[in-house]
């Protein structure tokens, strides 16, 4: 006899499979709650409006970050660079609390922790929230923006990290193969 | 004398530069409003919660799609495949109204237009909305999910389309270079 899986659980499992295909940039969202700094890796980050410039971030109510962000007046969205996998993993769960700020060179913008060598830091004043199910959408009106370096964001898709296709992706194996081939020809000619 | 740019315009311009770095998968959101089908390309699509499985999509109030989605009971999020740039461009503005459904092989799921050869089709019942500034977040509870093919989503970043790095990206130039090199050696040996 088959055990019936509740419809909601089936749909959740299928939705998760579909979401593995919803490639997205990776951001670390940060805030200050009194003396304590908080950071959490998030992929559910989007623009809301440009009139006024505003952003949304979706956070699970089960997290300590949710409690901190509910009290904080401001937050920052730090869009990570391809080279910042360790920061993503740390702020995604492998490192706890204040120790997350030991990963990377953190700074502050109006009291909010920011990561100056991220692809972009967008600081927002929290202006609204929308609760549904297990999560809350926090809405922030943008108050400052900083950009760093060329466009090369960290991307999360299909349960793994990647970056954009670049010439450099191909160059090392290509050059090593050429060297090997040429070495082979050199030997056969000597 | 410098012309002062209003602070809000400056921030909007800076936020847009930052958002060029927020790489994201591309989806076409669809709905039915009476007899009329509607489709709109969107990158501001995210999961909301898994309890219950639910999705959000952010839509400008200035669009015809916003009016249709405000009346529709359901909508679908079709996560595009790397090969579906033309559908993204068409539903993003280059094609109008019903003609958008001339792009690709559209079908229906409970009356909602779906694109079966998209990476994934997530059909939702509209359950809530959240208005702010120029846009509305529409929230939908997932009612069905379909997956198609291997993971290879269309990605939009820095104002252009791309896909994930793959071995195929490197293989053609690599192989052609090898062929050219070997031909060169062959000639020198003959």
Q: Are A155 and A162 in contact (CB under 8 A)?
A: yes
Question: Which token pair is B40?
Answer: 């709109």
pLDDT value of residue A190: 31
User: With 70 as the cut, is the pLDDT of residue A180 above it?
Assistant: no
Indicate yes or no: CB of B142 within 8 angstroms of CB of A11: yes
Indicate yes or no: CB of B182 within 8 angstroms of CB of A181: yes
pLDDT value of residue A2: 55
Strand pairing report for A155-157 and A135-147:
unpaired
Contacts of B118 in chain A (CB under 8 A): none
Q: Are B160 and B20 in contact (CB under 8 A)?
A: no
Alpha-carbon distance B59 to B41, whole Å? 10
A135, burial (CB in 10 Å: exposed 0-12, middle 13-18, buried 19+)? buried
User: With 50 as the cut, is the pLDDT of residue A173 above it?
Assistant: no
pLDDT digits (tens, 9 = 90+) for A151-167: 999 999 999 999 999 86
Q: B116 to chain A nearest CA, in Å?
A: 13
Q: A165 to chain B nearest CA, in Å?
A: 5
Burial B56-75 (b: 16+ CB within 10 A, else e): bbbbbeeeebbebbeebebb
Q: Is the dihedral of CA B136, B114, A160, B82 positive or negative?
A: negative
Least confident of A40-54, A170-184, B117-131: A170-184
Question: Which token pair is B84?
Answer: 């579906």
Q: Are B61 and B135 in contact (CB under 8 A)?
A: yes
Q: A36 to chain B nearest CA, in Å?
A: 27
Alpha-carbon distance A145 to A142, whole Å? 8
B93, burial (CB in 10 Å: exposed 0-12, middle 13-18, buried 19+)? exposed
Phi-psi region of B36 (alpha: psi -120 to 50; beta: other; left: phi over 0): beta
Question: Which token pair is A190?
Answer: 């000597």
For B58-64, the CB contacts below 8 A with 24+ separation are: B58/A46, B58/A47, B58/A48, B58/A56, B58/B135, B58/B136, B58/B137, B58/B138, B59/B29, B59/B135, B59/B136, B59/B138, B60/B134, B60/B135, B61/B131, B61/B134, B61/B135, B61/B136, B62/B134, B64/B38, B64/B97
Identify which has the larger pLDDT, B130 or A175: B130
Q: B20 to chain A nearest CA, in Å?
A: 8
pLDDT value of residue B169: 58
**SS3 per residue for B168-188:** HHHHHHHHHHHHHHHHHHHHH
Indicate yes or no: CB of A53 within 8 angstroms of CB of B8: yes
Question: pTM higher than 0.95, yes or no?
Answer: no
Using CA coordinates, name the residue in chain A closest to B23.
A25
Question: Which token pair is B125?
Answer: 């019942």
3-state secondary structure of A79: strand
Question: Which token pair is B72?
Answer: 């529709």
Per-residue pLDDT of chain B (190 residues; tens, 9 = 90+): 556 777 889 999 999 999 999 999 999 999 999 999 999 999 999 999 999 999 999 999 999 999 999 999 999 999 999 999 999 999 999 999 999 999 999 999 999 999 999 999 999 999 999 999 999 999 999 999 999 999 999 999 999 999 999 866 554 444 444 444 444 433 333 3
Probe site for chain B from A5, A7, A9, A19 (most B CB atoms < 10 A): A19
Count of CB contacts below 8 A, A vs B?
234
Alpha-carbon distance B10 to B19, whole Å? 14
Q: Are A75 and A112 in contact (CB under 8 A)?
A: yes
Contacts of A50 in chain B (CB under 8 A): 12, 15-16, 133-134
Probe site for chain B from A14, A18, A151, A187 (most B CB atoms < 10 A): A18
What is the average pLDDT value for chain A, to the nearest integer? 89
pLDDT value of residue A8: 84
Alpha-carbon distance A58 to B150, whole Å? 27
**Distant-in-sequence, close-in-space partners of A190: CB < 8 Å, separation ≥ 6:** none
pLDDT value of residue B7: 81
pLDDT digits (tens, 9 = 90+) for A57-107: 999 999 999 999 999 999 999 999 999 999 999 999 999 999 999 999 999
């Amino acid at each position: 006899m088959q055990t019936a899986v509740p419809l909601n659980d089936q749909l959740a499992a299928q939705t998760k499979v579909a979401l593995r295909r919803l490639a997205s940039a990776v951001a670390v969202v940060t805030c200050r709650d009194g003396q304590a700094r908080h950071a959490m890796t998030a992929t559910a980050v989007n623009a809301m409006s440009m009139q006024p410039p505003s952003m949304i971030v979706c956070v699970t109510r089960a997290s300590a970050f949710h409690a901190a962000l509910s009290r904080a007046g401001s937050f920052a969205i730090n869009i990570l660079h391809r080279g910042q996998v360790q920061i993503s993993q740390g702020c995604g769960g492998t490192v706890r609390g204040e120790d997350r700020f030991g990963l990377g060179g953190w700074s502050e913008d109006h009291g909010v922790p920011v990561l100056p060598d991220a692809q972009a830091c967008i600081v927002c004043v929290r202006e609204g929230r929308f609760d549904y199910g297990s999560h809350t959408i926090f809405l922030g009106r943008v108050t400052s923006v900083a950009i760093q370096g060329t466009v090369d964001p960290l991307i999360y898709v299909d349960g793994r990290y990647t970056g954009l296709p670049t010439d450099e992706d191909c160059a090392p194996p290509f050059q090593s193969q050429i060297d090997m081939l040429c070495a082979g020809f050199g030997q056969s000619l000597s």
